[in-house]
């Protein structure tokens, strides 16, 4: 069996290499590629994606999995090899339902759509992007049918990012969250608003960049296996466990954009860099799910980056970097300013108390698109209507509304719910971390993140995709994904900032 296991790993390594090359081409498209290269890039990525898919769904892989399954069942179920066979079999069964021709076509469609989205957003012209999105929605419906029968047409899409989770489960969690978050927002709205005007000044872009890099270096981001570049929409990408890159964007008139974007993406990357190297070039060399991934990015961005303890250490350095803007702003004022709660247009810049409402809006729109209850041509109006109903604000342009996110241009429907789920998981992990490291606040105030990183490496990062997300959460905290810790955190933090009773 060891020979067959070795053969399976050899094939999976080739598939991983093809995916890594595809990711590199995608990274280049979003950071360096000239606009004229879009059609060639679509063909290149489409070819590589099709080759990877064809290699993975081969009869040889199917036979190896069939032969190895009885052997894997004799192993410790948590062992690398048992998990590899189990996870690969799951992915194989899904992949064999999807024709390679579909994979190639969909990849080309999304590469072209991404270029159209960038242009449409720059020109505030949804009509330029609309036909591309219509094709994507059509192909996502086609994709769902590969997995019929299903409980809900959205389930196959959600499962790609959150294995095992159903649309009904997410809707149930959101139904519990929504009224409690709305109640908190109403209570905050009755209080005097905090001042964040000092954040809306001119901040030199290069200095912002340098400060962000210094902060994530202390977090533990390994520059020997990573780099940071600029992109229209921040993202993290991995070409293998030895090369995990991040991107961010800079707004010289608003400090939060690059700062918290960098901290967020570093959380994703530190997770990937922490996966056990022995899992490299296998289906286990990634996050357990997007919710688990988002738990790490949201932890580093919010539970650390927007915490008072974090700025006890970093604020003097930030003041010295921007003395004219922050020299007369004390730490308490700064802390309240970066945590100001106010309904806003842009998801990635939303405060913690309103963020999930942005996600719920997107989930509802995606479900409506998949069910056929909403046409793409009506999407901007539906977006604006929900923004007004949920947050009381209406985008002045589609660039700040329906065109603000990159996800749909990449065909990534089913992803958005994982952001909110990640918020929940991050707080569940955070409660456990503080129980296991009682002096963590003091360590953070000293800029010492070593013990925190070691805890995450041991309990979360090293396992990669070995375990289903719910199983991993239960393993770490003793219970499944729940909103309780998140709601307690919001009420405690913003209760203190806004003087709520």
pLDDT in tens, 62-73: 999 999 999 999
Beta bridge partners of 248: 230
- Can you give the pLDDT at residue 1? 86
- How many Cβ atoms from other residues are within 10 Å of residue 286's Cβ? 19
* pLDDT per residue as tens digits for the range 462-476: 999 999 999 999 999
- For helices 417-436 and 484-498, the axis angle rounded to 10 degrees is 80
Which of 293, 337, 298, 341 minimizes the C-alpha distance to 318?
337
The secondary structure of residue 124, as a DSSP letter, is T
* pLDDT per residue as tens digits for the range 28-48: 999 999 999 999 998 999 999
CB 266 within 8 Å of CB 274? no
pLDDT band at 15 (very low <50, low <70, confident <90, very high): very high
CB 421 within 8 Å of CB 173? yes
Which of 276, 265, 189, 332 minimizes the C-alpha distance to 461?
276
- Can you give the pLDDT at residue 7? 97
Task: Report the pLDDT averaged over residues 321-339.
Answer: 98
Radius of gyration of the chain (CA): 22
Looking at the chain, the whole-number percentage of residues with pLDDT higher than 90 is: 96
Q: In what order do the strands lie in the sheet with 236-238?
A: 228-230, 244-248, 236-238
List of domains in the chain? 2-149 (no CATH), 167-498 (1.10.1370.30)
Task: Output the average pLDDT for the chain.
Answer: 96
Indicate if 349 belongs to the active site: no
The label of the residue with tokens 């996966």 reads: 275
* pLDDT per residue as tens digits for the range 375-388: 999 999 999 999 99
Question: What's the rounded Cα separation, in Å, for the pair 33 and 50?
Answer: 22
pLDDT band at 348 (very low <50, low <70, confident <90, very high): confident
* pLDDT of residue 492 exceeding 80: yes
- How many Cβ atoms from other residues are within 10 Å of residue 439's Cβ? 11
* pLDDT of residue 233 exceeding 90: no
Cis preceding-peptide flag for 149 (omega within 30 of 0): yes
- Can you give the pLDDT at residue 349? 84
- Can you give the pLDDT at residue 474? 96
- Can you give the pLDDT at residue 54? 95
* pLDDT of residue 127 exceeding 90: yes
Task: Report the pLDDT averaged over residues 251-265.
Answer: 96
* pLDDT per residue as tens digits for the range 273-314: 999 999 999 999 999 999 999 999 999 999 999 999 999 999
Task: Report the pLDDT averaged over residues 389-398.
Answer: 94
Indicate left, alpha or beta for 464 from its phi (over 0: left) and psi (-120 to 50: alpha): left
CB 333 within 8 Å of CB 314? no
Task: Report the pLDDT averaged over residues 415-444.
Answer: 97
Question: What's the rounded Cα separation, in Å, for the pair 261 and 364?
Answer: 25
Which of 83, 100, 108 minimizes the C-alpha distance to 22?
108
The one catalytic residue in 89, 118, 265, 294 is 265
Residue 398, phi then psi, degrees to nearest 5: -70, -25
CB 424 within 8 Å of CB 303? no
pLDDT band at 208 (very low <50, low <70, confident <90, very high): very high
Question: What's the rounded Cα separation, in Å, for the pair 100 and 103?
Answer: 5
Question: What's the rounded Cα separation, in Å, for the pair 476 and 465?
Answer: 15
pLDDT band at 232 (very low <50, low <70, confident <90, very high): confident
Which of 245, 291, 297, 246 minimizes the C-alpha distance to 271?
297
Q: Which tokens belong to 275?
A: 């996966």
Please tell me whether residue 368 adopts helix, strand or coil conformation: helix
- Can you give the pLDDT at residue 471? 94
């Amino acid at each position: 069996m060891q020979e067959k296991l070795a053969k399976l790993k050899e094939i999976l390594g080739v598939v991983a290499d093809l995916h890594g090359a595809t990711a590199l081409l995608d990274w280049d498209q979003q950071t360096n590629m000239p606009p004229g290269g879009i059609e060639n890039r679509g063909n290149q990525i489409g070819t590589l994606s099709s080759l990877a898919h064809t290699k993975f769904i081969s009869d040889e892989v199917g036979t190896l999995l069939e032969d190895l399954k009885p052997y894997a069942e004799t192993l410790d179920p948590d062992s690398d090899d048992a998990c590899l066979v189990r996870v690969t079999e799951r992915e194989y069964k899904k992949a064999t339902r999807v024709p390679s021709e579909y994979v190639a076509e969909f990849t080309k469609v999304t590469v072209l759509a991404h270029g159209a989205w960038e242009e449409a957003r720059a020109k505030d012209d949804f009509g330029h992007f609309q036909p591309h999105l219509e094709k994507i929605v059509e192909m996502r419906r086609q994709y769902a049918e590969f997995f019929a029968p299903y409980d809900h047409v959205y389930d196959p899409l959600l499962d790609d990012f959150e294995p095992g989770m159903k649309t009904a489960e997410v809707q149930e969690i959101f139904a519990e969250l929504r009224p409690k978050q709305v109640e908190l927002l109403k209570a905050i709205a009755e209080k005097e608003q905090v001042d964040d005007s000092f954040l809306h000044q001119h901040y030199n872009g290069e200095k912002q960049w340098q400060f962000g890099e210094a902060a994530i270096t202390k977090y533990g981001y390994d520059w020997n296996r990573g780099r940071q570049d600029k992109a229209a929409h921040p993202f993290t990408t991995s070409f293998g466990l030895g090369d995990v890159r991040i991107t961010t964007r800079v707004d010289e008139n608003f400090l939060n954009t690059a700062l918290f974007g960098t901290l967020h993406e570093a959380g994703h990357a530190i997770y990937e860099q922490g996966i056990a190297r022995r899992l490299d070039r296998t289906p286990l060399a990634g996050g357990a799910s997007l919710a688990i991934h988002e738990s790490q990015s949201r932890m580093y961005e919010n539970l650390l980056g927007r915490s008072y303890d974090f700025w006890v250490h970093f604020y003097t350095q930030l003041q010295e970097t921007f003395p004219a803007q922050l020299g007369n702003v004390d730490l308490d004022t700064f802390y309240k300013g970066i945590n100001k709660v106010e309904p806003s247009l842009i998801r990635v810049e939303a405060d913690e108390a309103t963020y999930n409402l942005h996600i719920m809006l997107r989930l509802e729109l995606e479900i409506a698109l998949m069910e056929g209850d909403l046409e793409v041509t009506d999407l901007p109006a539906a977006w604006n209507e929900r923004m007004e109903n949920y947050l009381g604000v209406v985008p002045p342009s589609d660039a700040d509304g329906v065109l603000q996110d990159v996800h749909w241009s990449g065909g990534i429907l089913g992803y958005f719910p994982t952001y909110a789920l990640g918020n929940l998981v991050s707080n569940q992990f955070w409660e456990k971390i503080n129980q296991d490291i009682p002096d963590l606040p003091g360590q953070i105030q000293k800029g010492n993140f070593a013990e925190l990183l070691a805890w995450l490496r041991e309990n979360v990062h090293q396992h990669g995709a070995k375990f289903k997300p719910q199983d991993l959460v239960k393993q770490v905290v003793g219970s499944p994904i729940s909103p309780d810790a998140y709601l307690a955190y919001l009420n405690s933090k913003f209760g203190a900032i806004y003087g709520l009773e």
